Structure 1
Amino acid sequence: MFNDIGALELVTIVVLGILIFGPDKLPKVVQDVMGFVRKIRAFSDSAKQDIRSELGPEFKDFEFEDLNPKTFIRKQLSENEDLRDIRSSFDLRKELNEVTDAVNSREPEAAPDLLKKPAAPAVEQRTWSDADAT
């Protein structure tokens, strides 16, 4: 939870704590804050256990961390075999080199399909009818 706090930040917090609460009350304030953090963690853990028990045995491998969108997408990309095959067959460096060469017109005949002008869509003949007249 506090993994990214450096030494300077910690010293600053201690000095501010001493200035605000005084050296006499600071240990009691720290105890109260730690007790509050423990109660929050216990509440969170009991809520997770309640949810897991309500979901049933088919969700026994359910992790709440998977609800984070980044974690969910990372997990789906790493576990799905079709996507793994697509990722392994796609060479980003080669594609970027081809686009760069095409833009710099080093090899115009080897230009990727991305840079070619798309064909005009076929015009569809529609019969005229008035939907309100029926």
Structure 2
Amino acid sequence: MPMNGWEFIILIVLAVVILGPDRLPEYAQKLARFVVGARRMANDARGQLQDQLGPEYEDIDWRQYDPRQYDPRRIVREALLEPIEDSVRDVREIGTSTRSDIDGLSRRRRDRDDDVRHDDSAPEPVEGTPYDLEAT
């Protein structure tokens, strides 16, 4: 959210009142060094990203990563205005693929269990939980 002129003036007046005229120049220098350091860090990160991505860097749409575009009210409004048929079709497709995946998984488990039951080299299951009296 950008700051307008009056808000900036109010901040300056508050800084003069809180810090006093003696310490204000010192804190202004610290703020300036912080801003310069933050800009330098951002430029270094951008340059490093350009070096690593090469020509693909120019193809990136940076607006899609802007967190300001994710307004929950807009997202809900768009979801409510979306035709219901599209949503129902998507859910049905997901449900169908999930059921077939579960059936296939169940079939593979049954086959595996049958193989284990018929395999004579499989160890016998241990009855009860082993308990070590000397562990305590």
TM-score by length of 1: 0.43
| Greater helix content | 2
TM-score by length of 2: 0.43
- Higher alpha-carbon Rg: 2
1 or 2 for the larger relative contact order (CA 8 Å, sep ≥6)? 1
